[in-house]
Amino acid sequence: MEVTQCEFCRRLYQSAGNRLCNDCLIKLDEDFIKIREYLYEHDRAGIEEVSEATGVSRKTIMFLLKEERLTVSSDRVDGGGILVCEACKKPISTGRICESCRKEVISALQDSVRDVGPPVRRPESAAEYPNKNKGVAKLQLKGKGRF
């Protein structure tokens, strides 16, 4: 495990691959459920209204929009100017980048992978590992005897 900074609260924590600490993961899920339940009955409510009614902070709502767990109503073509693409600054309705910038990033990644060379072939069955068990320690539970 490595020590990293939580993307939401900015505290240091030991990460097992998550971008958020456990406290923030739990809190964001609870807040998302509150927002979802409110929006079922009040669709197209604004951020301020949702925040007031649910007690969820504007920061949390914006974070959930950027994480694509929420979206700005589709009748607002430009996303209402709430979110902008982090690459080209065009208004968007959810996420961090617009669809055209996303396509450019994907294309660039695919091109860079193509330049690396052919994919590495991995054995598909145990038979393709000639000395599979040679030098490998066998594990057992303490106090449970042998395999």
Q: What tens digit of pLDDT does each residue of 67-88 get?
A: 989 888 766 545 456 888 999 9
Q: Is the pLDDT of residue 117 over 50?
A: yes
For the chain, the C-alpha Rg in angstroms (whole number) is: 23
Predicted confidence at residue 42, as pLDDT, reads 87
Predicted confidence at residue 140, as pLDDT, reads 45
Mean pLDDT value across the chain = 81
Predicted confidence at residue 123, as pLDDT, reads 65
Q: How far is CA 16 from CA 8, 10, 12, 25, 67, in A?
A: 16, 16, 13, 13, 19
Collect all residues with Cβ–Cβ distance below 8 Å to 28 and sequence separation of at least 6: 8, 20, 60, 63, 64
Quick count: other Cβ atoms within 10 Å of Cβ 25? 14
When mean pLDDT is compared across 32-36, 57-61, 107-111, the lowest value belongs to: 107-111
Q: Average of pLDDT values for 117-141?
A: 56
Q: Which two tokens stand for residue 57?
A: 């902070």
Predicted confidence at residue 37, as pLDDT, reads 92
